[in-house]
């Protein structure tokens, strides 16, 4: 039996946690996986040293996941092509805005038998065309790509607190091998034949979290918040049924990627937090992204905009009153109180 070689593309907070779990599994399951797990790190300087050197010396991503040790078989590598050249299993976990350039670099350097799993949140919208990132990866690299998403706050998983996740696959064998790679005593992986449903849940939950942030900023309370989450889950499900008819209902109501991740994201997280500040202070999201996130872009408003663009092209904006209202509050200066009047 041929062993699988794993490589991780990305080393942010979530990427580091994913590499840590994959590294543990590769050590524990030598029959299935090669020992070493190279992890591509976009090189940067920390205290005058290369981040990759620090990671490989301290076995810790001191910048993006401080406090959690990697097993010694996770090896930081600043060279993207060198990282992936032996890999048969690719874990892709980078901010979506860097995906096109990264895929471009990878083209022609991937083992044609490799399979990928995308941990990227969001969707690609061009006019009336919408794609999940797993499909973008398949299109650009010519290999199959699954998707992993769930109620997964990275820092809690780094502490090995119990979590669940979902992997959506197109080919069951892919689902099974990635399940074996990620499954840990503290990380329960379920697999489901629904790449699109798993991916879309991971994108659209962030729109609902923005609405929950408005709720918190307006001090509307838990009844209203639960109503927003209920309506949000239904709009997510309807969106998928309308535009991705292969999505399975069960993904939304039975999977960690569905209702559970929605709950976690609407309780904590940066989308909720920044939206609460918007409703409280009236400051623009752009300004708040500077003040609270040091200029990083918020995923929920970005996705709200993309979904709105897509729905506008389709002439279906009004079918999704919650998504529409979040967009209008975030980008058209509608007051946050519009939200409850349209629920």
Query: What does the binding site for a copy of itself look like in residue numbers (CB under 8 A)?
Result: 151-153, 156-157, 159, 161-164, 188, 220-227, 229-230, 233-234, 252-256, 259-261, 263-264, 267-268, 340, 343
Nearer residue to a copy of itself within complex by CB, 174 or 235: 235
Q: Whole-angstrom Cα distance, residue 340 to residue 343? A: 5
Least distance from a copy of itself to the Cβ atom of residue 237, Å: 8
Q: Is 152 annotated as a binding residue?
A: no
End-to-end CA distance of the chain: 55
Instruction: Say if CB 336 and CB 212 are below 8 A apart.
Output: no
Q: Is 42 annotated as a binding residue?
A: yes
Nearer residue to a copy of itself within complex by CB, 38 or 269: 269
Instruction: Say if CB 90 and CB 9 are below 8 A apart.
Output: yes
The one catalytic residue among 205, 225, 248, 324? 205
Least distance from a copy of itself to the Cβ atom of residue 211, Å: 12
Strand partners, 146: 117
Nearer residue to a copy of itself within complex by CB, 48 or 185: 185
Q: Is 282 annotated as a binding residue?
A: no
3 catalytic residue (yes or no): no
Q: Whole-angstrom Cα distance, residue 197 to residue 252? A: 8
Least distance from a copy of itself to the Cβ atom of residue 285, Å: 24
Q: Which helix (H) or strand (E) holds 97?
A: none
Instruction: Identify the burial level of 245 via C-beta atoms within 10 angstroms of its C-beta, where 0-12 means exposed, 13-18 middle and 19 or more buried.
Output: exposed
Q: Is 271 annotated as a binding residue?
A: yes
What are the φ and ψ backbone dihedral angles of 15, each rounded to 5 degrees?
Answer: -60, -40
Residues involved in catalysis: 205
Annotated binding site: 10-15, 42, 98, 121, 154, 270-271, 299
Annotated binding site for substrate: 121, 270-271
């Amino acid at each position: 039996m041929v062993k699988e070689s794993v490589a991780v593309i990305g080393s942010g907070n979530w990427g580091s946690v994913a590499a840590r779990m994959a590294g543990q599994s590769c050590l524990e399951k030598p029959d299935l996986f090669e020992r070493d797990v190279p992890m591509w790190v976009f090189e940067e300087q920390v205290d005058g040293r290369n981040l990759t050197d620090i990671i490989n010396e301290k076995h810790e991503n001191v910048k993006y996941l401080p406090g959690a040790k990697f097993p010694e078989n996770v090896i930081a590598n600043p060279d993207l092509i060198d990282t992936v050249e032996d890999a048969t299993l690719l874990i892709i976990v980078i901010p979506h805005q860097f995906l096109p350039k990264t895929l471009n670099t990878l083209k022609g350097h991937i083992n044609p038998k490799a399979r990928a799993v995308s941990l990227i949140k969001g969707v690609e919208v061009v006019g009336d065309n919408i794609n999940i990132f797993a499909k973008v990866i398949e299109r650009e690299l010519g290999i199959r790509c699954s998707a992993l998403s769930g109620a997964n706050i990275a820092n809690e998983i780094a502490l090995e607190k119990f979590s669940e996740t979902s992997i959506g696959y197109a080919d069951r064998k892919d689902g099974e091998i990635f399940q074996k790679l990620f499954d840990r005593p503290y990380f329960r992986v379920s697999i489901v034949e629904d790449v699109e449903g798993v991916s879309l849940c991971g994108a659209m939950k962030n729109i609902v979290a923005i609405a929950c942030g408005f709720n918190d900023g307006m001090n509307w309370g838990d009844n209203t918040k639960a109503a927003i989450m209920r309506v949000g889950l239904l709009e997510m499900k309807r969106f998928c049924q309308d535009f991705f008819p292969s999505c399975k209902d069960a993904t939304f109501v039975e999977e960690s990627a569905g209702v559970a991740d929605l709950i976690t994201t609407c309780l904590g997280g940066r989308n909720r937090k920044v939206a609460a500040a918007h409703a409280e202070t009236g400051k623009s999201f752009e300004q708040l992204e500077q003040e609270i996130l040091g200029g990083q872009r918020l995923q929920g408003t970005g996705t709200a905009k993309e979904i709105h663009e897509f729905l506008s092209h389709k002439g279906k904006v009004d079918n999704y009153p919650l998504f529409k209202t979040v967009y209008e509050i975030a980008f058209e200066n509608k007051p946050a109180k519009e939200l409850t009047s349209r629920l």
